[in-house]
């Protein structure tokens, strides 16, 4: 099938392209890109066998890559399946997922890696790459046969969401990974400092009577692993950065030339620990005479923590949601390049997992379908430009994986997302394609929605009849007007 995507605002960070134009897709590849100048000149006829997709008012970009997805299958199909996670990814604009080694059996041997790759090839509608387990069973005691895992096709190594407490073992792991030229994706949380904690250590955890996890629990391991990466020359990738101190450590390490990259999640960029208070925060506003003020003045008005009850288990994540000072540091680190990528940390859970006390609820957010809209709040607040944001979902993840970034250059694989950055919608987890309904965003009004996703030239998601002939096109976006005026 051939497609002509017309009149879109084309943003391709890898090629430094931001223009109004058309894209012709054929045989799973980008065949031609027509920029604004081409649109005002005569050009060859496209032919009758092409479906025209009207993308006026929308952004057309390379498909997104998520570095941090929990597949659940095999082993926990009641939480998610490869089919459902692929569908959720397509709704969110993600055409490549990197599966963390948290399935059962653990992908800690070559046979398990090959089996998982066969499963995702058969059931997945988007590309799914496999990350191998750094230690047997993710137990942090015995290293896996890392070379065999690499030869079986894993793209990196990780111990899922666990921290390897043994520094000597971590050093050996980094040394082996350096020889294989594959990144080690680490979770940084000192188990002795974080033991029993479920919330960020601060005023909110004290008020709610919840055991806290100090920022130092993360920063101590970040500092340790950076020192070990510097000693071994390995590529260290720090997953789910959540504190200002971690950003500072990564910044200093990169200045010294240490091979370290980092990711941050949408929820750590936009939500704070005040979300644990839910409507208690709104009541506090009234009692203190500050009614009408938003609990977090830096957050956009359409994000409203008071829609939640206090102690809502949907806010239970690891690392925990931090205070506003940490959130501001994370946004600054993402904006200036210290943090390379936005990673969803999609962790779908079954309903029964969350019907319990806050302290014993498993952590995780089902985030693939809300990731774009949540991170677009940074653009709508003026804290980040949209080209840089898209780069953190495309070019940044590719650099972490030592790959050429996805792009819209002729000849490139047609992994494409079309989204309307101005479209307003209300989050309803009951309509998620993912089996996981665990999100603190239920009922929140977000701005920005994926309209169509194309993986290897095949449409894997289309919202309603978006772009078809005879359908009303979205209104021109503010960004489109800016680009047109710049071209003029």
Active site residues: 345
CA dist 58 and 4 (Å) reads 14
How many CA atoms, within 13 angstroms, populate the side-chain half-sphere of residue 440? 32
Can you read off the two tokens belonging to residue 429? 């987890």
Q: What is d(CA 23, CA 407) in angstroms, rounded to the nearest whole number?
A: 12
Query: Annotated binding residue at 268?
Result: no
Q: How far is CA 324 from CA 202, 212, 217, 271, 380, in A?
A: 11, 16, 18, 8, 18
* DSSP E strand boundaries for 27-123: 29-34, 50-54, 59-62, 64-69, 94-99
Cα separation, 235 vs 257, in Å, equals 11
68 is in an annotated binding site: yes
329 sits in which H/E element:
helix 324-336
423 is in an annotated binding site: no
Q: Is 62 helix (H, G, I), strand (E, B) or coil?
A: strand
Q: Tell whether 24 is in a known binding site.
A: no
Residue owning tokens 């089919």: 83
β-sheet bridge partners, residue 129: 98
**Pairwise CA distance, residues 402 & 80, whole Å:** 29
> 363 labelled as ligand-binding?
yes
What is the gyration radius of the CA atoms in the chain, in angstroms?
Answer: 22
Binding-site residues, in ranges, read 68, 70-72, 345, 363-364
Annotated binding-site ranges for Zn(2+)? 68, 70, 345
């Amino acid at each position: 099938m051939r497609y002509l995507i017309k009149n879109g605002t084309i943003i391709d960070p890898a090629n430094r392209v931001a223009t109004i134009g058309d894209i012709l897709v054929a045989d799973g590849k980008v065949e031609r890109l027509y920029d604004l100048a081409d649109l005002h000149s005569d050009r060859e006829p496209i032919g009758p066998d092409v479906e025209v997709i009207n993308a006026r008012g929308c952004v057309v970009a390379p498909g997104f890559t998520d570095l941090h997805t929990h597949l659940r299958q095999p082993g926990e199909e009641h939480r998610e399946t490869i089919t459902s996670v692929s569908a959720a990814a397509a709704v969110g604009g993600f055409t490549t997922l990197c599966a963390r080694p948290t399935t059962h059996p653990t992908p800690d041997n070559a046979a398990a890696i090959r089996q998982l790759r066969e499963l995702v090839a058969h059931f997945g509608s988007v590309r799914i790459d496999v990350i191998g387990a750094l230690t047997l069973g993710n137990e942090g005691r015995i290293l896996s046969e890392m070379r065999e895992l690499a030869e079986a096709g894993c793209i990196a190594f990780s111990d899922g969401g666990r921290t390897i407490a043994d520094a000597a073992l971590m050093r050996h792991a980094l040394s082996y990974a350096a020889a294989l030229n594959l990144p080690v994706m680490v979770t940084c949380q000192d188990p002795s400092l974080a033991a029993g904690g479920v919330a960020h250590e601060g005023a909110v955890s004290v008020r709610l009577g919840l055991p806290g996890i100090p920022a130092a629990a993360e920063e101590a391991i970040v500092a340790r692993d950076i020192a070990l990466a510097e000693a071994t020359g390995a590529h260290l990738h720090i997953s789910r950065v959540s504190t200002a101190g971690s950003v500072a450590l990564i910044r200093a390490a990169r200045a010294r030339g240490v091979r370290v990259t980092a990711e941050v999640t949408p929820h750590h960029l936009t939500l704070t620990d005040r979300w644990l208070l839910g409507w208690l925060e709104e009541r506090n506003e009234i009692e203190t005479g500050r009614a009408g003020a938003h609990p977090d003045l830096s957050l956009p008005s359409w994000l409203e923590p008071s829609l939640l009850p206090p102690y809502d288990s949907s806010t239970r994540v690891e690392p925990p949601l931090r205070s506003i000072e940490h959130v501001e540091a994370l946004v600054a680190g993402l904006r200036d390049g210290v943090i390379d990528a936005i990673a969803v940390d999609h962790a779908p859970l079954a309903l029964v997992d969350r019907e319990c006390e806050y302290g014993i609820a498993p952590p995780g957010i089902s985030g693939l379908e809300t990731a774009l809209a949540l991170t677009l709040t940074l653009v709508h607040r003026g804290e980040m430009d949209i080209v840089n944001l898209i780069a953190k979902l495309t070019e940044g993840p590719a650099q972490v994986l030592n790959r050429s970034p996805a792009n819209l250059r002729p000849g490139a694989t047609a992994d494409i997302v079309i989204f309307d950055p101005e479209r307003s919608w209300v989050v309803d987890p009951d309509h998620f394609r993912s089996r996981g309904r665990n999100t603190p965003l239920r009922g929140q009004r977000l701005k920005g929605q994926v309209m169509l996703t194309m993986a290897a030239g095949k449409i894997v998601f289309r919202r309603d009849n978006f772009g078809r002939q005879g359908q009303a096109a979205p209104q021109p976006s503010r960004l489109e007007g800016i680009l047109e005026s710049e071209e003029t």
